[in-house]
Chains A and B, each alone.
Chain A
Amino acid sequence: MKKIEAIIQPFKLDEVKEALKGIGIDGMTISEVRGHGRQKGHKEVYRGQEYNVDLLPKVKLEMVVAEGRAEEVVRTLAGAARTGKIGDGKIFVYDVAEAIRIRNDDRGESAL
């Protein structure tokens, strides 16, 4: 099993969700986060006082998928989230040791 973690532009969330649904992925966890990579922030001015805002709002998606599907998911996700500009975000893929469904104690891929 693989865990796929993607940090994307907030306005791309709907497109990404639709694309993932299209290939049969319907479980995911989403959180609103703030951060920045190589993208610079923006400047805000209040009554002449300047502030550089470098932590920008992003959305983080997390999902765990079967070993064989990881590459397809990553490709779909990246395709849907891409604008081609700095700030599009990143995808990380991890190995997952175990998955347990709390309701009935299913283990492994059948718990996904």
Chain B
Amino acid sequence: MKRFWKWLLPALFAFPLSVFAQTGQDIQARLTALEAATKSAQSAGDNAWMLTSAALVLMMTGPGLALFYGGLVRRKNVLSTMMHSFILMAVVTVIWAVVGYSLAFGGDSPFIGDLRFAFLHNVGSAPNADYAPTIPQQTFMVYQLMFAIITPALISGAFAERMKFSAMLLFMTLWSLIVYFPMAHMVWGKGGLLSASLGGKIPCLDFAGGTVVHITSGISALVCARYLGKRIGYPSDAMKPHNLVISVIGACLLWVGWFGFNAGSALAASGLASSAFVATHFGAAAAALGWVLAEWVRNGKPSVLGAISGCVAGLVAITPASGFVQPFPALLIGFAAGVVCFFMVSAVKRKFRYDDALDAFGVHGIGGTLGALLTGVFATNAVNDSFKDSAGHVLPLGLADGHASQILNQALGCAISWGLAIVGTLIVLKICDAILGVRVRKESEVEGLDVALHGEEGYIFES
């Protein structure tokens, strides 16, 4: 026993001494390793959420929007309408790889990106510190691609049932180049004119694409509807949605996918992502109720189409606000969007007699503008404290923080977005009309685009 203590005691003293004896370099090396491990753990978490979000946003276009729009048209045009959404998943992806990503996120000029990332040059697993420092740039690139896909797909609701497929392809290619990429750069790109976080002249708060996605698509939709003219028989013939069941499924997929759209726009699996997730959900819920109630009062019946349209209008309106507002303002924004968009598509559309076949303007143009303006009202640094002055103080965001002039910035952002959408879309339509002609022949329109353009029918019950 004595012998045992004789050995143990010196050993006990010697152990801590040996730690102190280690060189400072050793500790430094271990700290560095620890830092790297923490970083890689955070990157793993963020990357998992962002890849999931990217997949969710793609799901909004196909099948979400394809089903939603497909159900709203007449039976003879269901395939051609779903094809608009589906083929854009392919077309925009190719454009994005060649120049799109670079024009949106390369460089730091105020209006449009440069060609440094053309053909995805240098876009690999290393993060792009300007935008998302914790995830591979490839993840950021593919996530942003999903936005570039759904935006033109939203426009297709305005020219459904009467546009040539070839002209649609050309239109969407040119539209992405002339309207979408510049707008995405101005709002989200480094040094962009409207960028709030990366040194813009007119800092416009747009968390997930109220101006970039919904205003541009909604306003361009109105221009398309006016340029192409009404469908034959509109508004005297019955043009009832042929299958509201698939529209309901589509709207539900949009609702779920929108969590990737908005909460993913935090670009990290952070508390801000949770906050955006909650605001998104609340906005959608309140908007569905707002539309249904307005309709119930006015028409006497609460319709299913009203409920799903309201939900989409709310999701649109909460998009720019989602990373800046608390849950109750989110409910308010959603409810307002439901009521306002209902009156747009039911009263205003009839008064001005334009044929926005699937209400892309009424829901996305108006809902997007309303949301962008209300973001200036309700945005608060209690939700998002990432904006700081040079001394490190957190800046006030919207009217809720006493920063009323933000509403003016929001309005300027909307005006630029409307202007670019109107002018850009008109130019693109003129080009398409001159080269290909934008509208299908009268016989094709009467026969239905599925058979006339694609040689197929959506439903064949006899076989």
Contact = CB atoms under 8 A, between A and B. Distances in A.
Partners in one complex: yes
Interface of A: 44-49, 51
Contacts of B305: 46-47
A46 B349 CA distance: 13
A45 B305 CA distance: 9
B201 interface: no
Contact of A45 (B238, B303, B347, B349): B303
Nearest to B345: A47
B287 to A, nearest CB: 15
Interface in B330-371: 342, 345-347, 349-350, 359
B309 interface: yes
B240 interface: yes
A48 B345 contact: yes
Contacts of A49: 235, 239, 346, 350
A54 to B, nearest CB: 11
Nearest to B349: A48
22 contacts: A44-B240, A45-B299, A45-B301, A46-B241, A46-B303, A46-B305, A47-B305, A47-B306, A47-B309, A47-B345, A47-B346, A47-B359, A48-B299, A48-B342, A48-B345, A48-B346, A48-B347, A49-B235, A49-B239, A49-B350, A51-B238, A51-B240
Interface of B: 235, 238-241, 299, 301, 303, 305-306, 309, 342, 345-347, 349-350, 359
Contacts of B299: 45, 48
Contacts, number: 27
A46 B301 CA distance: 11
Contacts of B240: 44, 46, 51
A55 to B, nearest CB: 11
Contacts of A44: 240
A47 B345 CA distance: 6
A44 B342 CA distance: 16
A75 B306 CA distance: 46
A48 B341 CA distance: 11
B300 to A, nearest CB: 9
B340 to A, nearest CB: 13
A46 B247 CA distance: 13
Contacts of B350: 48-49
Contacts of A45: 299, 301, 303
B342 to A, nearest CB: 8
Contacts of B349: 48
A44 B345 CA distance: 16
Contacts of B301: 45
Nearest to A48: B346
Nearest to A51: B238
Contacts of B347: 48
Nearest to A50: B299
Nearest to A44: B240
Pairs of residues from A and B, 3 with the lowest C-beta to C-beta distance, nearest first = A48-B346, A47-B345, A51-B238
A48 B297 CA distance: 12
A43 to B, nearest CB: 9
A36 B97 CA distance: 58
B239 to A, nearest CB: 8
A36 to B, nearest CB: 15
Contacts of B359: 47
Given A48-B299, A48-B346, 16 more contacts: A45-B299, A45-B301, A45-B303, A46-B240, A46-B241, A46-B303, A47-B305, A47-B309, A47-B345, A48-B342, A48-B345, A48-B347, A48-B349, A49-B346, A49-B350, A51-B238
Contacts of A48: 299, 342, 345-347, 349-350
B360 to A, nearest CB: 12
A67 B240 CA distance: 47
Nearest to A49: B235
A87 B369 CA distance: 49
Nearest to B301: A45
A49 B309 CA distance: 14
Nearest to A47: B345
A11 to B, nearest CB: 21
A45 B349 CA distance: 14
Contacts of B346: 47-49
A45 B238 CA distance: 11
Nearest to B309: A47
B200 to A, nearest CB: 37
Nearest to B306: A47
